[in-house]
Amino acid sequence: MRLKTLYVFLIITSVCKAQYSFSGYTNPEEWDRSVYLSIVEDYRKMSGVYSEQIIAKTSADSNGFFEFKGNMLDTENRIYRIHVDKCSDMQQGINHFNGHCSDSEELLFIAKNSDTLKLPFSFGNQVFCRVESNNPKANAFVKIDSLKNDMRFAYSEFRSEANRKLNNKKWFKTLQYFGEALNEPLAELYIYKYLSDRSSDLHSYYVEDLKENDYYDNLKTRLETSYPNSTYTNQYSNELEADRYMLSSSHGNTTSNLSIFLYAILGFSMMLNLFFLYRFWKRNQCKIDDLKAKLSKQEQVVLEHLLLDKTNKDIAESLFLSVSTVKTHTNNIYKKLNVQSRDDAKSLFIK
């Protein structure tokens, strides 16, 4: 009885002390020192930079080393992303619109609360190319990306329509079989997202495959078995049902008037939202342009450096000016914009 109690105590203790550690290196000469950790709960947003997904932020040291650690993650496997970029905090709202960021580097991986993950430099000090982890599933996405690179090479050998069609058919099945062989449903979702993307050339193959292949139902079963209560499983089930409904509707002789009405409302709502977003952006842009028009060209250049929080000395060195000249330009900017400080000036241009 005492031995049994000791085992229970040891198990409880190990669970309570379980914590994750995700560490690695960035190139401090190339990237900003800020490093972000995100949890990906929507597999349609695996790639990109989404502020709502970020759960932790840290700073790399002078050698580029960084680490995330703690015990707040899920005890089951989830999809995580670590990314770095060259955008300052004030630029992110503009540069990361719709998840896009042209100056970023990211790594997707699978992990849970008790995992240790290391991201060492690869050849040529490239970041986020290698994964070392005690979780055998961690590097599944890296393997898939490697296969996709082979796929891109095959497409580039002959840039003809015939070669593209042959490769579409071949690689659609190759990716699907590869995902299944990884024995990890979350990795299969990464491939499913790619194959079922409506903007992809492979989407037509997905539509045809969905008609007759039981692979998709089997994937749903695997997800429900491994991750019964996750957002991934619910999202996949809903998408699969919606795609099959659309497929059956496209082959029917009649279409429900209610469906047409609902789609019309949805389309109108999306267009209205886009219109309001555009109008807001345009109004803000016009305001910024009007403010900048008050300044000379040299003052506009100095202003851009001020908005990046550069010191007068840094600005002088960048523009080959004296510090006193920079101060004169700065004072002129304050007068023309009717502000008293840098923070006041930034509030006019950065929301």
Share of the chain residues as helix, strand and coil, in percent rounded to the nearest 5: 60, 15, 30
Has residue 289 been placed in a domain? no
Question: Residue 99 class from Cβ within 10 Å (0-12 exposed, 13-18 middle, 19+ buried)?
Answer: middle
Going by pLDDT thresholds of 50, 70 and 90, the confidence category of residue 12 is very low
Same domain, 14 and 125: yes
Going by pLDDT thresholds of 50, 70 and 90, the confidence category of residue 95 is low
Same domain, 151 and 134: no
Q: Which of 109, 138, 167 is the last residue of a domain?
A: 138
Question: Across the chain, what does the average pLDDT equal?
Answer: 82
**Residue 330 is part of a domain; what is its CATH number?**
1.10.10.10
Same domain, 104 and 148: no
> What residue numbers bound the domain in which 228 lies?
144-250
* Whether pLDDT at 251 is above 70: no
* Whether pLDDT at 16 is above 70: no
**Residue 67 is part of a domain; what is its CATH number?**
2.60.40
Has residue 255 been placed in a domain? no
pLDDT digits (tens, 9 = 90+) for 51-85: 899 999 999 999 999 999 999 999 999 999 999 98
Same domain, 213 and 335: no
Has residue 127 been placed in a domain? yes
What is the model's pLDDT at position 53? 93
Has residue 105 been placed in a domain? yes
Has residue 264 been placed in a domain? no
Same domain, 129 and 89: yes
Same domain, 91 and 122: yes
Helix (H, G, I), strand (E, B) or coil at 75: coil
For the CA atoms of 211, 154, 148, 64, the dihedral, rounded to the nearest 10 degrees, stands at: -170
Has residue 267 been placed in a domain? no
Same domain, 91 and 113: yes
* Contact in structure between 167 and 160 (CB atoms under 8 Å): no
Structure tokens at 120: 């060492």
What is the model's pLDDT at position 124? 61
pLDDT digits (tens, 9 = 90+) for 146-196: 998 888 887 777 677 777 777 888 889 999 999 999 999 999 999 999 999
Give me the percent of the chain exceeding a pLDDT of 70. Answer: 81
* Whether pLDDT at 2 is above 70: no
| Domain total in the chain | 3
Which of 23-27, 215-219, 300-304, 334-338 shows the highest mean pLDDT?
215-219
* Pick from 243, 242, 231: nearest CA to 42: 231
Has residue 268 been placed in a domain? no
Same domain, 192 and 127: no
Same domain, 13 and 111: yes
* Pick from 211, 187, 186, 207: nearest CA to 197: 207
Q: Which of 122, 138, 154 is the last residue of a domain?
A: 138
The region, left, alpha or beta by phi > 0 then psi within -120 to 50, assigned to residue 301 is alpha
What is the model's pLDDT at position 13? 46
* Whether pLDDT at 216 is above 60: yes
Same domain, 132 and 151: no
Same domain, 95 and 193: no
Which runs of E-coded beta strand occur in the chain? 20-25, 34-40, 54-59, 65-70, 78-85, 104-111, 116-119, 132-133
Q: Which of 112, 138, 164 is the last residue of a domain?
A: 138
What is the model's pLDDT at position 29? 83
Same domain, 112 and 219: no
Has residue 31 been placed in a domain? yes
